[in-house]
Amino acid sequence: MPLIAPSRRRLLQFAAAAAVSPGLAAMKPQAVVGRVLAVSDLHSAYERTAHLLAAFEHEIRSHPAPHVIAVNGDIFEQGNVVAQRSSGVVDWAFLAALPGLAPTVVNLGNHDNDLTPDLADVVARMKTLGLHVVSTITDTRTGVGYAPSVATLPFGAHRLRVVGMATNSMNTYPKASRDQLSIPAAADWARAHLSDSLSGADKVMVMSHAGVVADQDMLPMLPSGALMVGGHDHLLFQHQRGSSAYVHTGSFTSAYTVAEFAADGGVTAASHPVSTQSAASPALATLTARTLTEQLTPEEQAVLWTGRRALSLGDTGRAIAAGMARATGAHAGFIGHTTLGNAAPAGRVSRYVFDSIVRFEGRLLTAEVSRADFGTFMARANQDRPLPLGALTGDFLYAFGAAPERGPIRIVTTDWCATNQQTYFGRDDLIFQPSPGLTLKAVAASALASEG
């Protein structure tokens, strides 16, 4: 069974190893008839937005094949105070630049109306920029979809049929807008509509913001030679399924994926990191710097600690989980992986940067669990290691700790994970107790500062 490696660091290590594999080296390259540059879950990660745009500019300049740009939802982030105060001016400038590079399609995610509460206004503005928009979200006020579920884009000598689907996890959308949204489960929608939506298609791309668990139900429905771009779970991997490719492209603008459609009908994909040390698109870099200067307060620019070394996202999560355990006297800590955004960097970490690492505030809760349950929870956690595709749960926990030699095992997690324990722990009967006076961000800051 193929292994999936959601960790960018591990993924690139495996990619380097694969490059010297005799079997792979002997494969004859196929002529490329078109390329897709795909990203997902950008979340107003302004430290790399201009670098991502420069990477796209370079990809298109350097490769003569026709291109399509695919943005698979969650462009905006309500938790970014600069995005809030500027109404997402950097995000909108990034989007505005894309159609000038290549035909661009956006599949709506659950954060795309974070800054503009009415999703209809978001879609209208995207269309004025020349963006194609797809979605399965219906406006309950009109009974009509916010955007069509299907679009067809020019793709050189070919045409690219695009289908977009949203997550129906309603509690992840902005609360004020939820009664305006009606969203089918993606796999149910696909069973009813995907075949007709792809009828007569030339080249095919399916964009799902429903998460890896829902995607696995849909993979068998794809025609040969299709590309499926997943999102919502903040994962990073490429999975080859015959002549088709299934990818998750990472999050917080840390990476993008290039998918190549070959003349023989196959699709292959590879991930590329986005670094703040790489080239930045000048106009967007200038706008970003000016916007940060205008919008950040002295308190938000205050340095909380100076990191001696950069941590991976997984190691950031495990460091925080360890700090949660220390703060509560628990044997192990567990934190939801999408509670985190950016990995902890080296150098000075301001309040603003820290808030991009730990996206949400929360309370800490503890529970006593059996030794067998604890083993199950630990085996389920830390999915930034290579795993079979079928073992990925979408939402998962970063965890750190060990069981004592005897006696009960005490664990700690956040109120979000305790409330949604079936999703994270695979159980719904754990009894959690609050830890008075302890909040996630204060504990996490202390834990990461001690790592620095």
Condensed to tens digits (0 to 9), the pLDDT of residues 328-386 reads 999 999 999 999 999 999 999 999 999 999 999 999 999 999 999 999 999 999 999 99
How many whole angstroms separate alpha carbon 356 and alpha carbon 91?
A: 16
Q: What are phi and psi of 244, to 5 degrees?
A: -105, 160
Question: How open is the CA angle 134-136-142, to the nearest 5 degrees?
Answer: 100
**pLDDT in the model for residue 28:** 53
The mean pLDDT of the chain is: 93
DSSP code for 442 = H
Instruction: Indicate the Cα dihedral angle 3, 194, 249, 242, nearest 10°.
Output: 40
Determine contact, residues 169/338, Cβ cutoff 8 Å.
Answer: no
Condensed to tens digits (0 to 9), the pLDDT of residues 246-262 reads 999 999 999 999 999 99
**pLDDT in the model for residue 29:** 66
Give, in order, the Cα–Cα distances in Å from 384 to each of 330, 352, 450: 23, 26, 23
**pLDDT in the model for residue 30:** 76
Instruction: Indicate the Cα dihedral angle 334, 382, 339, 324, nearest 10°.
Output: 30
Residue 136 pLDDT level (bands cut at 50, 70, 90): very high
DSSP string for 364-380: EEEEEE-HHHHHHHHHH
**pLDDT in the model for residue 124:** 98
Report the pLDDT averaged over residues 129-136: 98
Indicate if the alpha-carbon torsion angle 443, 445, 446, 452 is positive or negative.
positive
Question: How open is the CA angle 386-258-227, to the nearest 5 degrees?
Answer: 80
Condensed to tens digits (0 to 9), the pLDDT of residues 178-214 reads 999 999 999 999 999 999 999 999 999 999 999 999 9
**pLDDT in the model for residue 18:** 32
Report the pLDDT averaged over residues 16-43: 66
pLDDT over 90 at 220, yes or no: yes
Q: How many CA atoms lie within 13 A of 352 on its CB side?
A: 19
pLDDT over 60 at 8, yes or no: no
Instruction: Indicate the Cα dihedral angle 165, 209, 278, 90, nearest 10°.
Output: 80
pLDDT over 70 at 24, yes or no: no
**pLDDT in the model for residue 25:** 31
Q: Which amino acid is at 25?
A: A
Map residue 96 onto helix, strand or coil. helix
- What proportion of the chain, given as a percentage, has pLDDT over 90? 92
pLDDT over 60 at 421, yes or no: yes
pLDDT over 60 at 22, yes or no: no
pLDDT over 70 at 7, yes or no: no
